Structure 1
Amino acid sequence: MEFELEGLTDFQNDLLEVAQRKLPKESFKIMRKVGSKARTVVAREARSKVKKKSGNYHKKFKRGKVFRDRDGDIIVRVINSSHHAHLIEDGHRMVTKSGDEVGFVPGKKVVEHGINNFNSSGQFEELISDWLDDLLDSSRL
């Protein structure tokens, strides 16, 4: 999932590019903060969609490491490290003890919906905008 920057002005977009080049450690720091906020939104979405409380599914949402991809973009992931998370996310077959397939449980796509909610909430643009304002106020750019 990607975050789309829609609420920033052209000046802020230019400033963001300069900040990522001149202050890479600061850029990674703000992306960790963004990832943590996104993890909170995704976990909230999971609690509302997945009602079954067995296992540790709800406790295992994590923010991954911040890294640069091949294109040079800064990436942070939100993952669930539970062993059965992929079954809830993508769906699974229902099988009896004798091995007969009796149906299919569709996936809930919790992470996808959670990231979409985070994108539409405007929190990402707000965090980036505040960070850019702080950088300008402290005259680090």
Structure 2
Amino acid sequence: MADFDIDTRGLDRFHGELEDLKKLFPNEAKRLMRASGNHARKIVLRRAKASVIEDTGDYFKSIKRGRVWVKNGEYKVRTYSRSRHAHLLEYGHRMVGPEPNKKELGFVLGFHVFDKAAKEINQKWNGILEKEFDKIMSKL
């Protein structure tokens, strides 16, 4: 029978690097989703500034990117508005007169900023993820 030795130093090092990458991946995945959520926020903000007429700018300042979370093995991130009147601008509202009789004067149509931005984000999402993934992989 022939005797032989296998040099496993390179294999052991590769196995260690693979384990390190497994440990790093959740953080990198969250970083990837955070960066792509920022891109989504910019798209929503651009869409809002194009369609909404705002006096104070509070609505624009209130558009935020949420925290990344994992649900059923999928990483998720959301973009939302913290403004108290955001739902009125988004979906529309009744226009009501002054206090004594509160006569309804009509209905103000909503701008549907998030719906329109969602369509644009869905079209660009793969490109955004690829670009951010390339940035992260170049750092590793």
Gaps of 5+ in 1: 1-18
Partner of 2:84: 83
What secondary structure, in the 3-state scheme, does the structure 2 residue paired with 1:65 have?
coil
What secondary structure, in the 3-state scheme, does the structure 2 residue paired with 1:47 have?
helix
Which residue identity lines up with residue 39 of structure 2 in the other structure? K
* Residues 133 and 48 of structure 1: CA distance in aligned 2, closer, same or farther (over 3 Å): closer
What is the number of residues matched between the two proteins? 118
Aligned pair 1:68/2:70, yes or no?
Answer: yes
* Residues 42 and 130 of structure 1: CA distance in aligned 2, closer, same or farther (over 3 Å): closer
Partner of 2:27: 25
Runs of 4+ in 1 over 4 A off after TM superposition: 19-22, 131-138
Q: Considering only CA atoms, is the larger Rg found in Structure 1 or Structure 2?
A: 2
CA root-mean-square deviation:
2.5
Gaps of 5+ in 2: 1-20
Partner of 2:18: none
**Greater CA drift, 49-58 or 92-101:** 49-58
Partner of 1:3: none
- The structure, 1 or 2, with the larger RCO (C-alpha pairs under 8 Å, 6+ apart) is 1
Partner of 2:104: 101
Which residue identity lines up with residue 107 of structure 2 in the other structure? F
Separation in 1 of the partners of 2:49 and 2:118?
Answer: 14
* Residues 105 and 20 of structure 1: CA distance in aligned 2, closer, same or farther (over 3 Å): farther
TM-score (norm 2): 0.72
